[in-house]
Amino acid sequence: MKNLQEQVCVWIDENRNRSIKLLKKMVEQRSVQGNEASAQAVVLEKCRQLRLDIDLWEPGGKLLKQHPHFVATRTSFKDSPNIVGVLKGTGGGKSVIFNGHIDVVPEGDLKQWDVDPYQAEVTENRLYGRGSTDMKGGNVCLLMAIEAIKAAGISLKGDVIFQSVIEEESGGAGTLAAILRGYKADAAIIPEPTKMKIFQKQQGSMWFRLKIKGRSAHGGTRYEGISAIEKSTLVVKHILELEKKRNEKITDPLYKSIPIPVPINIGKIEGGTWPSSVADLVTLEGRCGIAPNETIEEVQAEFQAWVSELSSKDEWFNEHPVELEWFGARWLPNEIGSDHPLTAALIESYKEIMKKEPVIEASPWGTDAGLISHAGDIPSIVFGPGETEVAHFPNEYIEIDKIIDCTKILAVFLMEWCGVSEEMFLPTDGEGKFKKETTK
């Protein structure tokens, strides 16, 4: 086994440029919501080269849209396909899902970028571009780990189910569609940008909307009205007090380096209709974090009770209570024990390659791991290259060395987790094309 691991790692080093080339192709595709098809075409071609059993479909249907965990910000997924490629094992080993999302957030103000966000520019050890770290770099690690296994002539006992899904940035409908399509495994790994840390726990989150009412009046006699804008400042302060209260309860050591484990962020505000009128309505929209040990329902109930307490701080809210609505995207929390076989296997693979102990933390954001765990009943863990500090930011980049290291770790993990069969593939022909024959 040791010799096979070394052989695989040598191949990954020698084929560094193949990883860069694949990532460049992915990043050059602007796969924002509704525009994922061209990036998925790159993934599809790679799956064909690897001779995986391919399943391509556009999510939809009643089963998906009526599922209790379904959320989406659009009604149709036309021209937004999911792709699953399966490397079938010979039998007798554990299976694994390798899940990565192909969608990226919009690039934002181009003036804040020093490079073209879709040029995939390489400078020394960095590849720049939207989606490079979140999370096309991780997706490349998944595919190249599979290719390295095949290039070495290794046949695994357990199945490897590679998934390139849409909609992660909007709540996970792509991953949920893959679950409902019947894809199951003994474990799942999602290579989101964890900075090569192992995230045993991830917070969830959900979007909320608050409507604060006022009473309109002429601006010249504003004292005759009630400003919803002024009342909204009381609401914001009240919500931040809830954030403090909720986070004071979290003592998990995995969150020790995270200043606010489960934040409540107000990200949008709208109010008023005319500069010379007193505003009679303000709408706040935001995101509420969910701790790994909480349910969505528990957090929603606590939030509603806290909002109702506004009436004790200002009598205006007695007759004009703030309206709370939950809408749009949400992500389920997730956790896996330190003693779980998946955790242990990934830690050992990390140590084998990096020659040191991994950093184990809790994630400050949600991922599709929550869906895979709760809706799919599949133990899931998040681990990948890239840094959260540059995800969704201008000049997003990923370090190429980290892609190579992560690919090696995942390849070694596959050998340990799925098991190596006595049956072997013949090596590639040198062009990455695998021969059909197998041999004992």
Strands 397-399 and 126-128: antiparallel
Token pair for 321: 């209570």
Respond yes or no: is residue 103 known to be catalytic.
yes
Active-site pick, 36, 55, 103, 405: 103
DSSP 375: T
Token pair for 326: 């939950």
Q: 24-41 in b/e burial notation, b at 16+ Cβ within 10 A?
A: bbbbbbbbbbeebbebbe
28 within 8 A of 119, measured Cβ to Cβ:
yes
Tell me whether the omega of the peptide bond preceding residue 135 falls within 30 degrees of 0, making it cis.
yes
Angstrom distance (rounded) from CA 113 to CA 72: 29
Instruction: Kindly give, in sequence order, each residue whose CB lies less than 8 Å from that of residue 5, ignoring residues fewer than 6 positions away.
Output: 352, 411, 412, 415
Say which amino acid occupies 310.
L
Respond yes or no: is residue 107 known to be catalytic.
no
Residue 204, classed as helix, strand or coil, is: strand
DSSP assignments along 333-347, one per residue: -EE--TTSHHHHHHH
Token pair for 55: 């399943």
Which residue reads 């069969």 in tokens?
A: 421
Active-site pick, 168, 169, 335, 368: 168
Active site residues: 103, 168
